[in-house]
Amino acid sequence: MTERVNLGKSAPVLYQAVVELDRLASEALSNAGIAEGFSHLLRLRASQINQCAFCVRLHARDALACGESADRVAVVPAWQETGYFSPKERAALALVEAVTLVSDGQVPDAVYEQAAASLSSEEIAAIEWLAIVINAWNRVAISSRYPVRA
C-alpha cells in the first residue's frame, strides 16, 4: 500500500484551524450544558458511521475516561434499541447521525423536529457544530490512514 500524505504534517496551518474549530465546538457544547462524556459518545457515533477506526478508538477511550459507562459506550451503534439514553440524548444522537449522513436525505425534517422538541436552540447548534467537526476529523484521519495498531 502506498503511504498516504499526512494532512496534519503537510498543512499544519489548516490542521490547526480544525483544532481551533474543535476547541470552539467543545466550548459550545459545554456552554449548552452537554456533558463532556456524552459529547464523546456523539463523536464516537459519527466516527462509527464513517468507519474511522482511529477516531472510534479515541472517542471510546475518551468517553470512558470522562465517566461514561462501558455499557453506554458498547451500545452506541444500536442506541435506538436500548434504554440507556434519555430523550434529549436520543435526539442528539439522531441529529449527529443525520448530519453525518447528510448525503442521504439531508437532515430530515422529522429528525430536526425531534431535536427541536427535546433540545434548546443552543444545544442544537452545538451538536450540529460537533457533527461538522468530527466529520472533518474523520476525513483527515481516514484520508491520511492514521494507523490503528493493537
The pLDDT profile of the chain, 150 residues, written as one tens digit per residue, is: 788 899 999 999 999 999 999 999 999 999 999 999 999 999 999 999 999 999 999 999 999 999 999 999 999 999 999 999 999 999 999 999 999 999 999 999 999 999 999 999 999 999 999 999 999 999 999 998 887 888
pLDDT of res. 145: 87
Helix axes 121-144, 109-118, angle to 10 degrees: 130
How do the domains of the chain map onto residue ranges?
A: 11-144
Q: What is the DSSP string of the chain?
A: -PPPP-HHHH-HHHHHHHHHHHHHHHHHHHHTT--HHHHHHHHHHHHHHHT-HHHHHHHHHHHHHTT--HHHHHHGGGGGG-SSS-HHHHHHHHHHHHHHTTTTTSS-HHHHHHHHHHS-HHHHHHHHHHHHHHHHHHHHHHHHT-----
pLDDT of res. 2: 80
pLDDT of res. 147: 76
Question: From CA 6, how far away is CA 13, in angstroms rounded?
Answer: 13
Q: Which three cell numbers stand for residue 109?
A: 425534517
pLDDT of res. 3: 86
Region 11-144: CATH code = 1.20.1290.10
Q: Which three cell numbers stand for residue 62?
A: 475518551
Residue 123 C-beta-side C-alpha neighbours within 13 Å: 21
pLDDT of res. 83: 97
Question: From CA 102, how far away is CA 58, in angstroms rounded?
Answer: 23
Question: From CA 49, how far away is CA 53, in angstroms rounded?
Answer: 10
Give just the sign of the alpha carbon dihedral 24, 119, 65, 135.
negative
